[in-house]
Amino acid sequence: MINVREKYLGSNDRMSFWDRLYLPAIFKGMAVTLKHMLFSKSVTTQYPEEKRVIAPRYRGRHVLKRDEQGRERCTACYCCAYICPAQCIKIMAADVTPEIQHNHPGDKYAKSFEIDLFRCIYCGFCQEACPKAAIFLEDIYELAVDSRDKFVIGKDVLVAKEGGPRKIRV
């Protein structure tokens, strides 16, 4: 009968007695496992009780910012929709009438603003292109919902509740 191991590896590669027992290798492996179990710091996060610390450059769900006076920064210029490689931003612009002037700094505003989070690739181009520093990908990563259509989010979800200073990009 042909010994395949000998044929391809040569007789010098014969396993020693201890190698054939496999026990030293098993104990060696167990020692590595035990070392990590007993002496290494755990990297597991007890989510959802414990939230992960997100890197400052993390790109999660979008937020449409308000300015210091609480007005919506977005002026419906379409730059973000134009640059978006996934074409997942849909904006409908409208004129700012005197009745809503207190909420919008420009002549136009986004009457509707929708992002399809299924199509979005979280590239951050929209944030880079926005001339008004209105749209940002924040550290929101809890995106689970119970139906597909809830992944198309509108202004009710996107617009920040409060105003704030002009955010600096990192």
Residues that bind ligand SF4 in the complex, under the rule CB under 6 A: 74-80, 84-86, 88-89, 91, 110, 115, 120-126, 129-130, 132, 134-135, 137
Of 24 and 131, CB closest to ligand SF4: 131
Give whichever of 32 and 128 is closer to ligand SF4, judged by the CB atom. Answer: 128
Quote the DSSP letter at residue 75: -
User: Closest approach of Cβ 60 to ligand SF4, in Å?
Assistant: 10
Q: Please state the closest distance from residue 121 (CB atom) to ligand SF4, in A.
A: 5
Q: What minimum distance in Å lies between the beta carbon of 98 and ligand SF4? A: 21
CB atoms within 10 A of CB 106: 16
Contacts of 66 (CB under 8 A, 6+ apart): 72, 73, 159, 160, 162, 163, 164
What are the angstrom distances between the C-alpha of 32 and each of 19, 95, 160? 18, 67, 49
In terms of Cβ atoms closer than 10 Å to its own Cβ (0-12, 13-18, 19+), residue 53 is exposed
Least distance (Å) between residue 155 CB and ligand SF4: 11
